[in-house]
Amino acid sequence: MSNHFYVTTPIYYVNDKPHIGHAYTTILADVLARYHRLLDVPTWFLTGTDEHGQKVQEAAVKNGMTPQEQCDTTVVRFQELWQKLEITHDDFIRTTEERHKTIVRKALQDLYDRGEIYGADYEGWYCTPCERFFMEKDLAEGGVCPDCKRAVNKLVEKNYFFRMGKYQQWLVEHIESHPEFIQPAHRRQETLGFLRQPLNDLCISRPKSRLSWGIELPFDANYVTYVWFDALMNYVTAVGYGADNGTFAKWWPASYHLIGKDILTTHTVYWPTMLKALGVELPRSIFAHGWWLVGRDKMSKTAGNAVNPMQMCEQYGVDAFRYFLLAEMSLGNDASFTEEAFTNRYNSDLANDLGNLGKRVISMVHRFLGGKFSAVVKPGPEEAELEKMTTIAVDSMKKHLASMQLERGIADALAAVREGNRYFDKMAPWALAKQGKTEELQRVLYSSAECLRIVSGLLYPVMPGKMAELRRALGLEGAEVEPHLETLGAWGGLPVGRALTDVPPLFPRIEKPEESPEAKKAAAEAAKAAKSAKKAEQTKASAPAIVELIEITDFTKVSLKTAKILAAEPVPDADKLLKLQIEIGAEKRQIVSGIAKFYTPEQLVGRTVVVVANLKPVVLRGVESQGMLLAAKAGKELRLVTLDGDLPSGAGVG
């Protein structure tokens, strides 16, 4: 662990109210900051708002306000949401603050004086919504904006440029020699791909005649600076760059800039080159997460499908909302938000698993042990599995925190809870009470409570409110309520002789309204689509550089189905091939597969596998094959893709 942890979110535009995309990045940063604080790592967490530029100016006009009024009104919505979501940022920077503007001007002047910024006539195409100029060659097919695909306008004007192009080779080398600099790996490839084209200088000015809402260039009062030059600087101006060297040295370089995948180029190309020109060290890592989709659709104001985080918190509670966002999104990939997915995860993980264990343990301690434990109990052979699972959970959380795979750490914490429930059922403390086996009863309840203490500690940064409640209910007091991650896993941490409090259910089940068949069908389709989207993203995630990335539409062309193997036999004169008779739902088919060296016919019959169901038939060694079996291969090993539970044949896979 490094000696400091400085994490940032993007600063949000104040042209509109926040949605779950904004909430997600901020919660993620909050959870990372909280974990690091619990590891005693000096931590600084910065968020804020991006208040200049076209978008904000336009919103102000639309709302009949001055731009500053637009900022002052909208910033409150972000600040209130962060309060509601229990975000523990150390600083909130607004780019209209003097502390920021002064330093941006200073940096601009410095770059201008050193010839890093120069004036020139510029002819190009301008995309108003993206606020970006493009050269003719950069436009997408049909002469539209390569980013948003909307129409662009031709412009010739004097502007100021930052000599970004000259840093191209240096940047490529930096990215290649610092694998952690851009994460996850497929985003690094994306930036390197972008850098295979010649890198132009960056236009960093906007004539005031077109856009007046910005920081004035210190060397030409007819211009304001480009909003991205202004915005990116927040990461350093907020921690004392150019103003307070001690503070700056304490926090810079940032450990993580968390961003959404749509602002990758600005962060991984513009920002590092700006820093290089300023002579400032680069951040350690830029982590781009995926998008929250609604079902399979992009969230947007026009579609009217944006999820309102405030409303979700009011309906289901802050902690459950935080938990869902972090547990559901595999960091780096897209994820799908539906109320259905939310309810399912809430009911299974929080109500049935965690809440249920909490309720059962605490109520039985009241019923059978007079509301307190009388001695610390050492785990015996019966507790070996439970202890193992909690140890795995602690190690996993630490490991996945470092590798930015929080969802995996969370999944292992939940696996420990499920083991807790299994242990509890197996040991049946109610029966031990009936039989008067007091010592065993103490052991079972104490051990189950230990599992809860450890898991509640692991999930504390994710659900600070509910986990504090649970920990207090278990008898932890004062400073003990906050877990210490280094010592959390040591068995026996629960103090004895403290009264456990009976708490109302932590996560009451969400009862789903009866659904119409149409609604059910639509939900199933949405879930299927989301699953395929996730899978396609995951495929992308593990794709090495040379593999071309595909669109989801490419992936959905492939029909994957579960199939049951009814019979298998060798193909004569072909020692690698087996002829399989399979069943895909009601349909019977024959497949020839090159797996004879890895499976005998006997091993295959009766198994449910996954097949590509829409391949054109081919004839192999004189035998027709009507599909393909999926298998994974590593070196000399081959394993069939099978299901981890029972499903009938003919089920869609995606």
Nearer to ligand MSP by Cβ, of 25 and 347: the residue is: 25
User: Phi and psi of 522, rounded to 5°?
Assistant: -65, -40
Q: Is the Cβ of residue 112 or residue 228 nearer to ligand MSP in the bound state? A: 228
| Residues in the chain, overall count | 654
- Distance, in Å, from the CA atom of 589 to the CA atom of 626, rounded to the nearest integer, reads 6
412 is a site residue for ligand MSP (CB under 6 A): no
**Is residue 11 part of the contact set for ligand MSP (CB under 6 A)?**
yes
Which residue among 5, 7, 10, 32 contacts ligand MSP (CB under 6 A)?
10
Residue 232 binding ligand MSP, by CB under 6 A: yes
- Tokens representing residue 425 in the block: 């059922």
- Residue 276 or 466: the one with the smaller Cβ distance to ligand MSP is 276
The least CB distance from residue 54 to ligand MSP, in Å, is 12
Asked if residue 230 binds ligand MSP (CB under 6 A), the reply is no
Least separation, in Å, of the C-beta of 42 and ligand MSP?
23
Binding string, 45-84, against ligand MSP, x = CB under 6 A? -----x----------------------------------
Binding status of residue 321 toward ligand MSP by CB under 6 A: no
Separation of alpha carbons 581 and 568, rounded Å:
6
Q: Which of 5, 6, 7, 12 binds ligand MSP (CB under 6 A)?
A: 12
Among the residue ranges 19-27, 126-134, 347-355, 484-492, the one whose residues contact ligand MSP (CB under 6 A): 19-27
* Residue 160 contacts ligand MSP per CB under 6 A: no
| Closest distance to ligand MSP from the beta carbon of 50 (Å) | 3
Which H or E run includes 359? Answer: helix 356-369
Picking from 118, 121, 145, 149, the residue whose alpha carbon sits closest to that of residue 134 is 145
Min CB(90)–ligand MSP separation in Å: 17
Question: Please, what sign has the CA dihedral across residues 467, 468, 472, 473?
Answer: negative
Any residues with CB less than 8 A from the CB of 299 and at least 6 apart, and which? Answer: 19, 20, 21, 291, 292, 293, 305, 306, 307, 337
**What CA–CA distance (Å, rounded) separates 568 from 595?**
11
Binding segment for ligand MSP (CB under 6 A), chosen from 17-25, 84-92, 127-135, 425-433, is 17-25
What is the rounded distance in angstroms from the CA atom of residue 15 to the CA atom of residue 59? 5
**Does residue 239 interact with ligand MSP by CB under 6 A?**
no
Pick from 483, 629, 498, 476: which is nearest to 563 by CA? 629
Are the CB atoms for 460 and 482 separated by under 8 Å? yes
How many helical (H) and strand (E) elements, i.e. helices and strands, does the chain have? 23, 27
CA–CA separation, 433 vs 421, rounded Å?
Answer: 18
Binding residue for ligand MSP, selected from 29, 259, 377, 629, defined by CB under 6 A = 259
Under rule CB under 6 A, residue 238 binds ligand MSP: no
Stretch near ligand MSP under the rule CB under 6 A, chosen from 5-13, 310-318, 359-367, 384-392: 5-13
Concatenate the DSSP letters of all residues of 157-191 into one string: EEEEEE--GGGHHHHHHHHHH-TTSEESHHHHHHH
Residue 307 contacts ligand MSP per CB under 6 A: no
Q: Which residue has the tokens 């072909």?
A: 574
Report the SS3 class of residue 568: strand
| Integer Cα distance of 565 and 149 in angstroms | 48
Which part of the chain contacts ligand MSP (CB under 6 A), choosing from 71-79, 255-263, 492-500, 638-646? 255-263
| Closest residue to ligand MSP using C-beta atoms | 260
Among 152, 231, 254, 318, binds ligand MSP (CB under 6 A): 231
DSSP conformational letter for 42: -
The least distance separating ligand MSP from the CB of residue 112, rounded to whole angstroms, comes to 21
Give the one residue of 13, 44, 324, 423 binding ligand MSP; rule: CB under 6 A: 13
| Residue 214 and residue 53 in contact, taking contact as beta carbons nearer than 8 Å | yes
Q: Does 213 bind ligand MSP (CB under 6 A)?
A: no
Q: 3-class SS at 513?
A: coil
Query: Where do we find the tokens 């602002």?
Result: 263
Q: How far is the CB of 260 from ligand MSP (least distance, A)?
A: 2
Cis bond upstream, residue 617 (ω within 30) = no
Please, which residue, 234 or 356, has the CB nearer to ligand MSP?
Answer: 234
Is 260 a binding residue for ligand MSP by CB under 6 A? The answer is: yes
471 binds ligand MSP per the rule CB under 6 A: no
Query: Considering beta carbons, is residue 6 or 24 the nearer one to ligand MSP?
Result: 24
The DSSP bridge pattern shows strands 43-50 and 12-13 to be parallel
Asked if residue 460 binds ligand MSP (CB under 6 A), the reply is: no
373 three-state secondary structure: coil
Tell the smallest beta-carbon distance from residue 105 to ligand MSP (Å). 17
The contact set with ligand MSP (CB under 6 A) reads 10-13, 21-22, 24-25, 50, 231-232, 234, 259-260, 262-263, 291-292, 299
